[in-house]
Structure 1
Amino acid sequence: MSMISKTTIVQVGIEISIFLTASIIALLLSLNKLTSLTPFIRGFFCDDQNLMYPYQEDSISTLMAIVVLIVPTLAFIFVTEAMLLKNINSRKFNMYLRNTYNMAGCMLLGFTLCILFIEILKLYVGRLRPHFLSVCDPTMVTSNCSRTYITNYKCQGQDLEAILDSRKSFPSGHSGASWYCMTFLVTYIQLRVRTNWPKLRVVCPILQLAAISLAAYVSISRLQDYKHHAGDVIGGSLIGIIFTIAVIYQNPKARRAFLKNYSLSDLSETMDTIVCTELHQSSSTSTDKITSNGQT
């Protein structure tokens, strides 16, 4: 196994440091632990029925969504890349590590940046969730509630974290995360699995449909739990899909990893060895002939 250069170690260390920093910030924002960063305080119409839904616990929590979406995607990538190697040796194992690192690393970094973008956008938009009135329980001083836009109010609710979270409706983080991961997985199946194993042309669409169904289920659960409006779910889904496209087609490492074919690479390296050997043999033969002619 060849030694890893210091430049590669430094580069990988920097990439991992950036990823961990962004991941920690995104996770803290998603869990509402950075209370110093408050969302935009938006008013509301006191007779707005879209804000009068009851509060319910999440069917799919934030941590559960991360595990359900990321773990299967990464496991599928690791197993597929290993199966593409067939016979593992030291040279192929280095190729496996490099290709898998580029693929999984770009997927994770893109996921983190997608969630970070969504959480920052939530703070700036400050759209109220469908259960805002039941969580906030605002004090309103008005004689006529019809068509009255309330800006001067105070929340009487006791759960401050829930009140903070009720101001972060657009876009949906669950939808963005689910559609990012599943779009990435669908693209991976199409470019890596179906390309290398044409006989699986029936299995691949089934796997892709299952991935899309999982993303749709996570998104719809946010509507069923009264956590988001329909526009929030659509917006989050589009952001997740856009980030996937950007990660795959705008990142050279990810693009090379998707299009890499181990067998073709091995074949090209073998042909290079054969050509070099033949050239060396022909050169040696020519030298021998010249020497023998000179002696004659």
Structure 2
Amino acid sequence: MVSGEEKWKRRETTRGLSGRRELAVLPVVNSFVQDMMTDLRYPMKDNTVPFWAVPIIGIIGPMIIITGIYFKKRNVYDFHHAILGLLFSVLITAVITDAIKDGVGRPRPDFFWRCFPDGVPAYDTFTTGVLCHGKASVIKEGHKSFPSGHTSWSFAGLGFLSWYLAGKIKVFDRRGHVAKLCIVILPLLLAALVAVSRVDDYWHHWQDVFTGGILGLVVSSFCYLQFFPMPSDENGLWPHEYARHILDPDQLENNAQPTSVDRPNFLPNSSFRSSNGLEMGNSSQALEFMEAGRRHQ
């Protein structure tokens, strides 16, 4: 009589007269997990912050604040780049987080109860590997502890919002307004509360939420600085494109093309920006000069 453990380990089926045999082996957890089972016995709990709430916290909430600032300032450049930077921050963070989750496969703190829902552990006699008999989808989800997706998403969206608010209220104007600093810290505090809830629910280890928070902050910082200057800059209130096209249009037009074809100080080793914004090198500049001269002949 075949034992239950052997049934879970492998199933052999004989097909046809040819004697062809198909072997279906259920996934066996690596033996190192058995040694860790004493540290993975935390109870399974529901999420304090459900998965559907994360996009609301990390995306919808910052969008509402950005939209409110747009209705007050009426700057379409600022609104466009803020929404674009926010979406880039969250989406890039989500892709990196999921890739690391699938690659690392670290067990969650409640992995024991995911693997053995009845509380009865089963181990292979020869390899001492863990033979899970829980639901496959629950076991698979139990291998996605590192890093914390809730935390990385929250810090990506709310971290970008902190950068954005720092530029709008000029928190680094060297006047020492503590209230401004508190406003900037509030989004980060909310993201930190989400991270703490993940540890409290036994869905993540502290290293998971720490790494997720750092990941979200780094990506949000890169995305913000891609579209906006540093909040401490003189023009830190508006995005780069607004400064180029609105605040200083004369300089942009002068840099776009030479003012005269026969300029006396037009050196061969100089460079300028063409009408499409591309920087022309020495050879391209000389060709443009020659073509312009032919057209005026």
Match status 1:77 vs 2:66:
yes
Secondary structure at the aligned position of 1:170 is classed as coil
Aligned residues of 1:80 and 1:193 also touching (Cα < 8 A): no
Write the deviation string for residues 20-62 of structure 1: whole angstroms up to 9, x where unpaired: xxxxxxxxxxxxxxxxxxx996541345432111111111111
The TM-score, its normalising length taken from structure 1, stands at 0.63
- Percent sequence identity is 22
Secondary structure at the aligned position of 2:102 is classed as helix
Residue type of the alignment partner of 1:243: V
Residue 47 to residue 212, structure 1, CA distance change in 2 (3 Å): closer
Aligned residues of 2:28 and 2:130 also touching (Cα < 8 A): no
Residue 53 to residue 82, structure 1, CA distance change in 2 (3 Å): same
Secondary structure at the aligned position of 1:56 is classed as coil
Match of 1:243 in 2: 219
Write the deviation string for residues 239-293 of structure 1: whole angstroms up to 9, x where unpaired: 11111122122x2x455984469799767679x9xxxxxxxxxxxxxxxxxxxxx
Aligned residues of 2:89 and 2:157 also touching (Cα < 8 A): no
> CA shift at 1:72, angstroms?
1.7
Match of 2:130 in 1: 153
Residue 41 to residue 119, structure 1, CA distance change in 2 (3 Å): farther
**Aligned counterparts, 1:84-233, within 5 A:** 84-85=73-74, 96-137=75-116, 138-141=121-124, 150=128, 152-157=129-134, 159-194=135-170, 201-233=177-209
Aligned residues of 1:132 and 1:166 also touching (Cα < 8 A): yes
Residue type of the alignment partner of 2:39: N
Distance of 1:269 and 1:125 partners within structure 2: 50
Residue type of the alignment partner of 1:49: T
Write the deviation string for residues 5-26 of structure 1: whole angstroms up to 9, x where unpaired: xxxxxxxxxxxxxxxxxxxxxx
**Aligned counterparts, 1:47-86, within 5 A:** 48-85=37-74
Aligned residues of 1:59 and 1:221 also touching (Cα < 8 A): yes
Distance of 1:184 and 1:214 partners within structure 2: 13
Distance of 2:69 and 2:190 partners within structure 1: 20
Write the deviation string for residues 107-151 of structure 1: whole angstroms up to 9, x where unpaired: 1122011011101110010000000011111521459xxxxx95x
Secondary structure at the aligned position of 1:57 is classed as coil
Residue type of the alignment partner of 1:116: V
Of structures 1 and 2, the one with the larger relative CO (CA 8 A, separation 6+) is 1
Residue type of the alignment partner of 1:191: G
The structure that is helix-richer by fraction is 1
Aligned residues of 2:47 and 2:201 also touching (Cα < 8 A): yes
Aligned residues of 2:170 and 2:237 also touching (Cα < 8 A): no
Distance of 1:209 and 1:218 partners within structure 2: 15
> CA shift at 1:67, angstroms?
0.8
The TM-score, its normalising length taken from structure 2, stands at 0.62
Distance of 2:210 and 2:247 partners within structure 1: 46
> CA shift at 1:171, angstroms?
0.5
Give the CA RMSD over aligned residues.
3.5
Distance of 2:200 and 2:243 partners within structure 1: 48
Write the deviation string for residues 148-194 of structure 1: whole angstroms up to 9, x where unpaired: x95x332111x322211101100011111111122211111111222
User: Whose radius of gyration is greater, 1 or 2?
Assistant: 2
In structure 2, runs of 5+ residues without a counterpart are 1-26, 230-235, 253-297
Match of 2:22 in 1: none
Number of residues paired by the alignment? 215
